[in-house]
A = this chain, B = another copy of it.
Amino acid sequence: MSLPRSYDAGVLSALGALDAKSIKHVFFIACGGSLSIMHPAKFLLDQHSPLASDVYNAAEFVSRAPRSLDEKSLVILCSMTGTTKETTAAAEFARSKGAVTIGLTVEPASPLATAVDHVVGFEAPYTTGVPIDAKNSNYARIYQIVMGLVALAGGEDLTQPLVASLDALQPAIDRAQETFAPAFEDFAPRFAKQDVIYTMASGASYGAAYSFAICVLMEMQWINSQAIHANEFFHGPFEVLDKDRCFILLKGLDSTRPLEERADGFLHRFGSAENLLVLDAERLDLAGIDPVFAGNLVPLIFFDTLWRFAYKVAELRKHEMLEARRYMKKIAY
């Protein structure tokens, strides 16, 4: 079989060089925001292939040194700038064990790009401020890698519907901005006053919830947060819920949606609707996105639209989104 010509050139080149049938284990490795895309990547792989895989923070991966890492492993790494030291070290470690490495980065001359066997470029709006098409995002690239690998390893070939779905993604995001705008306008003044805001999701959307909690709320707004898994919620965390507590709940379209629906019901039973910002993918117009990938693509819609919400909150807090940092890239650590 061969991959669609419309696939990203970097992905085609990386997968073309791979003996896909020899791969026994995939490692998805990164830190922070880049790690957040690895959870949905594994979710996609889990549902389409029996291939074993792990998601690890890059430093955890190196110091854990799993025995399953060997020359039959494919290690997929991501760092937006390509300068994340832990991720570059993880690439070097993986290669020293004989594994094949693919590095996703915006910067083709970065340390990560130099450390890996194959570089896959992507675009990111929040480095340059220039809007991108979501089909060129890191999510899109890693989904192409995963479904390409599935097809090349002898599994189902869903690469054509994936490409078509990614082409339809940016228009769906643009429409979603309008769908969610009134809620963002409504909730921002209340959420801007909070010291604690939780995010919640499951399945393919968990990574988006994680990223919004640690990179946006904690890092950019210094608001205390945690991404709570929608079912783990019922096994401890729900006890912090009261009428004043604020949650952002992502209700996706993947097979774990019933978990998010159950959490939604509980939140509304014991919390206040005005403190519960629920993004429900069922409200979205996903024209052109193949139903088989809808659950995998809505997390990008959630995350992209939530940026608008974050900027509204930041403005009300008078707390700069991209400049207000105490530590990150301000000091050596």
| B-binding residues in A (CB < 8 A) | 25, 31-33, 35, 43, 46-52, 54, 57-60, 63-68, 70, 84, 86, 195-196, 202-203, 213-215, 218-220, 222-226, 229, 231-232, 234-242, 255-256, 258-259, 266, 269-270, 325-328, 333
Contact = CB atoms under 8 A, between A and B. Distances in A.
Contacts of A65: 47, 255
A70 B326 CA distance: 49
A218 B239 contact: yes
Contacts of A225: 226
A51 B68 contact: yes
A214 B231 contact: no
A231 to B, nearest CB: 4
Contact of A64 (B215, B223, B234, B256): B256
A64 B46 contact: yes
A156 to B, nearest CB: 10
B66 A47 contact: yes
Pick from A219, A226, A229 the residue with the most CB of B within 10 Å: A226
Pick from A50, A70, A203, A269 the residue with the most CB of B within 10 Å: A50
Contacts of A325: 239
Contacts of A66: 46-47
Contacts of A231: 31, 57-60, 86
Given A60-B229, A218-B240, A234-B333, 9 more contacts: A31-B234, A46-B68, A64-B203, A213-B226, A222-B240, A238-B328, A239-B325, A239-B326, A269-B333
A231 B219 CA distance: 14
Contacts of A47: 64-67
A84 B232 CA distance: 12
Contacts of A232: 31-32, 35, 57, 214
A10 to B, nearest CB: 24
A326 B270 contact: yes
A13 B214 CA distance: 44
Q: List 10 tightest A-B contacts by C-beta distance, closest first.
A: A32-B235, A52-B52, A226-B226, A214-B236, A219-B236, A59-B231, A46-B66, A63-B256, A50-B68, A31-B235
Contacts of A51: 68
16 contacts: A32-B235, A47-B65, A51-B68, A54-B54, A58-B231, A59-B256, A60-B256, A218-B239, A219-B236, A219-B237, A219-B239, A224-B240, A225-B226, A234-B333, A241-B326, A241-B327
B224 A224 contact: yes
Pick from A60, A269, A270 the residue with the most CB of B within 10 Å: A60
A191 to B, nearest CB: 15
A235 B196 contact: no
A283 to B, nearest CB: 21
